[in-house]
Amino acid sequence: MTGAARKSVLGEVREVTLAIELIELGARLQLLESETSLSRERLTKLYKEIKGESPPKGMLPFSTDWFMTWQPNIHSSLFYNIYLFMLREARCDSIQAMVKGYRLYLENVERDNDEAVLTLTRAWTLVRFFDSGLVTMAPCTRCGGKFVMHAHDPHHGYVCGLCAPPSRAGKTRKAAVTA
Ligand SMILES: [Zn+2]
């Protein structure tokens, strides 16, 4: 099959399949519109069929600050490390790396009996923040793990949230450390 023919035959199916997968993982409408070329009407219909309710309205989160708070930073860093692996080692394209990376993130969190604080939409927003250069990864000087940081913050002497958790985090620290 030629590339063009394959696109015409499978393109539509692939887009719908992707949309269904994204909806099942919790994608918001803006994410679906951005990652597929399906119409808003089509996506809304799919969403209602799968979720049994209308997609939530409202803006997507637009601030990088959430990703810097203690537990979200650990979860975001875990996800982004997996995402990069999928992109570079498993040679996925960006959206497939996101879907596979997010599934693996969920598996990790479930295995540790932790709560998935990072939604798919947040994960997608994070990737866009990386793409636009707002955030970066920096190594922790104690454990060597790489963590999400503001791009313009000084990275020298950085200690991550696992190595230096806030005291109020004591209860969930163990779960986080084993992540
Ligand atoms: Zn560390």
Which residue pairs, CB below 8 angstroms and at least 24 apart, start in 167-170?
A: 169/70, 169/71
Could you tell me if 15 and 7 are in contact, meaning their C-beta atoms sit under 8 angstroms apart? no
Q: What is the 3-state secondary structure (H, E, C) of 97-152?
A: HHHHHHHHHHHHHHHCCCCCCCCHHHHHHHHHHHHCCCEEEEECCCCCCEEEEECC
Protein residues placing their CB within 5 Å of the ion ligand 1: 140, 142-143, 160, 163
Residue 148 CA to ligand 1 centre (angstroms): 12
From CA 171, how far away is CA 61, in angstroms rounded? 28
Residue 126 CA to ligand 1 centre (angstroms): 20
Residue 177 CA to ligand 1 centre (angstroms): 10
Is pLDDT above 70 for 1?
A: no
Identify the pLDDT of residue 5.
Answer: 54
Strand partners, 139: 146
Residue 100 CA to ligand 1 centre (angstroms): 25
Residues 99-152: tens digit of each pLDDT: 999 999 999 999 998 899 999 999 999 999 999 999 999 999 999 999 999 998
Strand partners, 147: 138
> Is pLDDT larger for residue 179 or for residue 68?
68
Residue 52 CA to ligand 1 centre (angstroms): 42
Residue 165 CA to ligand 1 centre (angstroms): 10
From CA 41, how far away is CA 71, in angstroms rounded? 36
Of 139, 126, 143, nearest in space to 62 by CA: 126
Residue 146 CA to ligand 1 centre (angstroms): 8
Residues 11-70: tens digit of each pLDDT: 889 999 999 999 999 999 999 999 999 999 999 999 999 999 999 887 777 789 999 999
Is pLDDT above 60 for 98?
A: yes
Q: What CATH fold (topology level) applies to the domain 65-150?
A: Arc Repressor Mutant, subunit A (1.10.10)
Residue 2 CA to ligand 1 centre (angstroms): 49
From CA 59, how far away is CA 21, in angstroms rounded? 22
Instruction: Tell me if 92 is assigned to a ligand binding site.
Output: no
Domain boundaries, the chain: 9-51, 65-150
